[in-house]
Amino acid sequence: MPLELKQLPHFKGRKGPLLLIIMDGIGLGEPNAGNAVHLARTPILDQLFQGTRVTQLKAHGTAVGLPTDDDMGNSEVGHNAIGAGRVFAQGAKRVDESLKSGALFENKVWSQIVERGKKDHTVHFLGLLSDGNVHSHIDHLFTLLRQCAREKIARVRVHALLDGRDVGERSALDYLQPTEKLLQQLSKENDVDYRIASGGGRMVTTMDRYNADWSVVERGWNAHVLGKGRAFTSAVEAVRSYYDENPKITDQYMDSFVVVDKNGEPVGTIKDGDAVVNFNFRGDRAIEITRAFEEKDLNEFEHSFVDVFYAGMMQYDGDLHIPKNFLVDPPQIDRTISQYLCAAGVTSFAISETQKFGHVTYFWNGNRSGYIDTALETYVEIPSDKIEFDQAPRMKAPEITEKTIELLRSNRYRFGRVNFANGDMVGHTGVMEAAIEAVETVDTCVGELLEIIKELDGTAIVTADHGNADVMFVEKNGKKEIKTAHTLNPVPFVIYDPKYNDEYKMAAAENPGLTNIAATLLNLLGYDKPTDYDDSLIEFK
């Protein structure tokens, strides 16, 4: 299908630019004491939500290509969905299907992993150990482990990264204990040696993204590869010890650990000749550790290269071919809205801070790195702070706003997209006061941007990619339970159009979701949607 947009006959768009504002992690939940969005003072959003060009969108489950409607959305699939304009099966669903059909185990990459395991080498599984289904799923790991036993691989090690972010903040034992039980069972029944070898909290061990803090990767490398870290006799002992020592610590910020034998020696360092499988399917927090395994001359930190066969659950960056080997093909997202806009000669910009920069570029563009057309596009990254986000809930929202205003006033761009990370990144900390400040910061920044849009005779869409800060805790059996994961709540969708003259109205879309945004953007720019894009959220009179 050619990348061709047809102009609408009676609407050419506004004189000024169209700005898409994505309030990351700000969903629409029940107005209760656990909802930071509700508790925050948000005069701008309150006014917007009372307008007539307002609706709610699904941002989770099947609406964004995940297996079921019990699956929370996330920033990766959210931006994929907005940029693609239609639903594509996403990471979790593709892995589920590949494991269920057995296709994964017919992959040549899997055969090479098995071959290494049968040559007196160890097969290592590295990834996030939870059922959050955002970066990984524990069931996928269990299926891989059982297959290793069936294939009579003698030695397997698991390097377990603790979640506490997409699942309960202190739920690590809920995943480590059944994992250790399965490893012991497989070892006994098949006369093999399967164990957990190392681990640590995801925010301090291994899972950095967007080059924000390579020391996170270094800590993981030291633990997983070199066996350097605090020593324990088991992963369960490590977690219990950390809990006892610091009652306030949460899993995601738990220090790295190394499991040792009775002689104090690490039970599972990664050595030349071994195979390493990263069982995370989501790319952003898997790329840097992948580079550490694949780039011999990596200079981001001091690391001694190990010659292993490395594979990802999926390919994390298709343009840069990271990793070279992978078990499940990623979704092939073609004809994104940015490809259409570039083909039509529409100038645009994308801006966010480091934590979400890849979302408004790489994921937005269908998992493609770099520019589509450097002559038409400008990408701006504002460096994120390297601290826990509840310590600075404003994050870089003011700086993003200032730069966005500069871009808008340059009169160079017809379309822009901006992501405010606050509601998501601060929401993940579980700290209510910080989340309220984060939401209030976003509200203020949105107001400042809308003033400029009005000044320039432009239009804006205010929305979100998924919920998070809208549920900071829940009440269970009379006890408060902190919630750091994304939510299943819908997200707002508001059209701010100061020059509105009754040209269009909100359409009665059936079960509208994030994929309906692309067609709406095109309509507001004066174009008809591609025939296979999901319907617009507006219809012209």
For residue 495, what pLDDT band results from cuts at 50, 70 and 90?
very high
SS3 state of residue 182: helix
Name the E strands within 114-172: 123-128, 155-162
Which whole number is the average pLDDT over 249-257? 97
317: which strand partners? 322
The region that residue 36 occupies, defined by phi over 0 for left and psi between -120 and 50 for alpha, beta otherwise, is: alpha
What integer pLDDT is reported at residue 476 of this predicted model? 78
Respond yes or no: is residue 111 known to be catalytic: no
pTM > 0.95: yes or no: no
Q: Is the pLDDT at 400 greater than 70, yes or no?
A: yes
Compute, in degrees rounded to 10, the torsion defined by CA atoms 492, 497, 503, 504. -10
Report pLDDT digits (tens) over 161-192: 999 999 999 999 999 999 999 999 999 999 99
Least confident piece of the model among 104-113, 318-327, 429-438, 498-507:
318-327
Q: Report whether 149 contacts 183 (CB < 8 A).
A: no
Q: Report whether 505 contacts 541 (CB < 8 A).
A: yes
Tokens matching residue 500: 């509105």
Which whole number is the average pLDDT over 228-256? 97
For residue 374, what pLDDT band results from cuts at 50, 70 and 90?
very high
Report pLDDT digits (tens) over 130-170: 999 999 999 999 999 999 999 999 999 999 999 999 999 99
- Mean pLDDT, the chain, as a whole number? 95
What integer pLDDT is reported at residue 508 of this predicted model? 87
Q: Is the pLDDT at 330 greater than 80, yes or no?
A: no
CA dist 541 → 506, 507, 518, 536 (Å): 10, 11, 20, 14
Which whole number is the average pLDDT over 203-213? 93
Which whole number is the average pLDDT over 403-422? 98
What integer pLDDT is reported at residue 91 of this predicted model? 83
Report pLDDT digits (tens) over 78-128: 999 999 999 998 888 899 999 999 999 999 999 999 999 999 999 999 999
- All domains in the chain, ordered by first residue: 21-90+333-540 (3.40.720.10), 92-328 (3.40.1450.10)
What integer pLDDT is reported at residue 68 of this predicted model? 83
Q: Is the pLDDT at 9 greater than 70, yes or no?
A: yes
What integer pLDDT is reported at residue 319 of this predicted model? 61
Report pLDDT digits (tens) over 295-308: 999 999 998 899 99
